[in-house]
Chain A
Amino acid sequence: SQQGEEDPQALSIQEGENATMNCSYKTSINNLQWYRQNSGRGLVHLILIRSNEREKHSGRLRVTLDTSKKSSSLLITASRAADTASYFCFTGANSKLTFGKGITLSVRP
């Protein structure tokens, strides 16, 4: 079953702009994780936010978590062409992660 559902499905922005991606889930979680996948490559872990955290920063990334709304957002500030990739949110309630369909971000130079 898929728990993490991201929106929008696709996002195209100009380099330097901020990109905001959202993720919604259905059941209780221990944590929520965001991953990036470049075309045809493996996944890279970006950031993990625990259920008792509301906001977390890592470089140009800012993640928020609202457990009452069962949603999370990933903000990439000052986007770069290299940020072009698919982004997935994963929810973890146990050792198994479930994946959404992902968001395709295109950053135009």
Chain B
Amino acid sequence: GAVVSQHPSWVICKSGTSVKIECRSLDFQATTMFWYRQFPKQSLMLMATSNEGSKATYEQGVEKDKFLINHASLTLSTLTVTSAHPEDSSFYICSASPGWQGSNEQFFGPGTRLTVL
């Protein structure tokens, strides 16, 4: 149980286009979902926290208008990278927290590798 999927697993796009990444909790309801960004050989950087039905909370330095997050249901959150540029190329990982027994344990998706040409 506790499986999180991401789609697509990789995407290549031209500079200036927008890319949407989906994160789904397959067998549990996620009260909270998180979006991370990871550069090569570095740790994960939390971008934003999203709760179903409310606006996402962005971390300092993350542009809200650049990275649009929509948590439409308890099993789906989307991250849209708008007007992508080569510097947005990165590995994006989502996680979902079911909040079982008050635990903050998170289950991670497999990640999406974005390459902007």
Interface string of B28-64 (1 = CB under 8 A from A): 0000101000000011111001000000000000000
A95 near B97: Cβ-Cβ < 8 Å = yes
B104 near A92: Cβ-Cβ < 8 Å = yes
Q: In whole angstroms, how far apart are the Cα atoms of A97 and B108 in the complex? A: 12
Query: Per a CB cutoff under 8 Å, which of A40, A41, A92, A100 touches B43?
Result: A100
Chain A interface bracket (under 10, 10 to 19, 20 to 34, 35 or more)? 20 to 34
B103 near A31: Cβ-Cβ < 8 Å = yes
Binding site for B on A (CB under 8 A): 2, 30-31, 33, 35, 40-45, 48, 88, 92, 94-102
Query: Per a CB cutoff under 8 Å, which of A43, A92, A96 touches B108?
Result: A43
- The number of inter-chain residue pairs (CB within 8 angstroms) is 55
B93 near A42: Cβ-Cβ < 8 Å = yes
Q: In whole angstroms, how far apart are the Cα atoms of A26 and B98 in the complex? A: 26
- 23 contacting pairs across A/B (C-beta < 8 A): A33-B105, A35-B108, A40-B91, A41-B110, A42-B4, A42-B93, A44-B108, A45-B106, A48-B105, A88-B43, A88-B44, A92-B104, A95-B32, A95-B49, A95-B99, A96-B49, A96-B104, A97-B46, A97-B104, A98-B46, A99-B45, A99-B46, A101-B43
Query: Per a CB cutoff under 8 Å, which of A48, A96, A101 touches B46?
Result: A96
A2 near B106: Cβ-Cβ < 8 Å = no
Q: In whole angstroms, how far apart are the Cα atoms of A88 and B108 in the complex? A: 13
B107 near A45: Cβ-Cβ < 8 Å = yes
Q: In whole angstroms, how far apart are the Cα atoms of A45 and B14 in the complex? A: 34
The smallest beta-carbon distance between A72 and chain B, in angstroms, is 16
Interface string of B75-117 (1 = CB under 8 A from A): 0000000000000000101010101000111111111010000
Q: Which residues does chain B contribute within 8 Å of A33, judged by CB atoms?
A: 105
Q: In whole angstroms, how far apart are the Cα atoms of A91 and B29 in the complex? A: 23
